[in-house]
Amino acid sequence: MHSPGPLPVNIPPARYYYFNDRIVDAHAPLLQLQDLGLFRGYAVFDFLRTQGGKPLLMERYLQRFRHSAEAMRLTLHLPDATLAELIRELIRKNGFAESGVRLLLSGGYSPDLFTPAEPNLIIRIEPYTPAPQSSYTQGARLVTDEYLREWPAVKHTNYINAIRNQPRVLAAGATEVLYHWQGQLSECSRSNLFIAKGGTLITPPLQQVLAGVTRGQVLRLARAAGIPVEERPLKLEELWQADEAFITATTKRVMPIVQIDHHTIGAGTPGPLSRHLLELWEREVEGKM
């Protein structure tokens, strides 16, 4: 099997970010050093992308960003409508064909480096390059790691374990690392997991994973198409017996998985349910004909 490999690392830089109250030069030195996000990992973020140059499902991402901020007692002063307008302006000014939009809210300049202060807000625009087509036609790979994600309901910035695993991911020609803990599957470091078994779609419940926006849309599309769906705890052994597996993420959409560690999933090629859901996604969400 040819591996589609990782996404390219050397991406061109953005020219403009938003920082607290204004649009700024992306590479200017702007942050004071005593930020709580930097010194204590105390920050939340979110990430959305454009489709045809327009932010896709933006209101859902902004809603989740605000939920994460509130859970960590960080005040997001700007209303969603203002954030949406700023995001549109930044996308225009940076001028990429397609953009990724990363929002970050940190614990701010904390005198004791422990008590959250007035948050720092950053909006970062990145050029968005879709995954190579081979990831969808041939399927992608995962590696696994036994790891319990901290507070998965909140999109905080702790990606230590994901970055720690990245050399293994790259060495295996994989796309992602899949987490399990005491025999239970949860999610990938930056994607949600689904399996298909006997025509039923199964994915771990929201108590155990981040509420992926793509995950939510795929569940909605599946239910509307009459596909049986179960949101329930999923055992690692069930993965090895699955007919199909796929992951969902903002950048990856519905990406079929054909190999995990040394296990081949199903027939080793993208399965019919994965392909059907990708088609539904492209038609219903992305608006492709």
Residues of this chain that bind its own copies (CB under 8 A): 7, 9-11, 13, 17, 19, 24, 26-43, 45, 72, 102, 104, 106-107, 111-116, 122, 124, 126, 148, 150-151, 156-164, 166
Task: Give the residue with the Cβ less far from its own copies, 68 or 259.
Answer: 68
End-to-end C-alpha distance for the chain, whole angstroms:
30
Task: Give the residue with the Cβ less far from its own copies, 29 or 226.
Answer: 29
Task: Give the residue with the Cβ less far from its own copies, 179 or 194.
Answer: 179
Determine phi and psi for 18, rounding to 5 degrees: -115, 135
Task: Give the residue with the Cβ less far from its own copies, 81 or 160.
Answer: 160
Let me know: does 69 contact 83? Beta carbons within 8 Å: no
Tell me the two tokens of residue 45. Answer: 């973020």
Q: Could you tell me the CA-to-CA distances from 127 to 53, 104, 253 in Å, in that order?
A: 11, 17, 17
Rounded to whole angstroms, the Cα distance separating 46 from 68 reads 9
Task: Give the residue with the Cβ less far from its own copies, 9 or 171.
Answer: 9
Task: Give the residue with the Cβ less far from its own copies, 117 or 229.
Answer: 117
Helix or strand (DSSP H, E) at 123: strand 120-127
Shortest distance (Å) from residue 28 CB to its own copies: 7
Q: 249 - beta bridge partners?
A: 253
Let me know: does 196 contact 245? Beta carbons within 8 Å: yes
Rounded to whole angstroms, the Cα distance separating 9 from 64 reads 27
Rounded to whole angstroms, the Cα distance separating 23 from 21 reads 7
Rounded to whole angstroms, the Cα distance separating 286 from 107 reads 35
Beta strands in 182-283 (DSSP E): 184-188, 192-197, 200-203, 229-231, 234-235, 244-249, 253-260, 263-264
Shortest distance (Å) from residue 279 CB to its own copies: 29
Task: Give the residue with the Cβ less far from its own copies, 42 or 281.
Answer: 42
Shortest distance (Å) from residue 206 CB to its own copies: 19
Shortest distance (Å) from residue 47 CB to its own copies: 10
Task: Give the residue with the Cβ less far from its own copies, 145 or 244.
Answer: 145
Shortest distance (Å) from residue 181 CB to its own copies: 10
Determine phi and psi for 33, rounding to 5 degrees: -80, -25
Q: Dihedral of the CA atoms 107, 159, 164, 179 (nearest 10)?
A: 150
Shortest distance (Å) from residue 227 CB to its own copies: 33
Shortest distance (Å) from residue 260 CB to its own copies: 21
- State the DSSP code for 267: T
Shortest distance (Å) from residue 155 CB to its own copies: 12
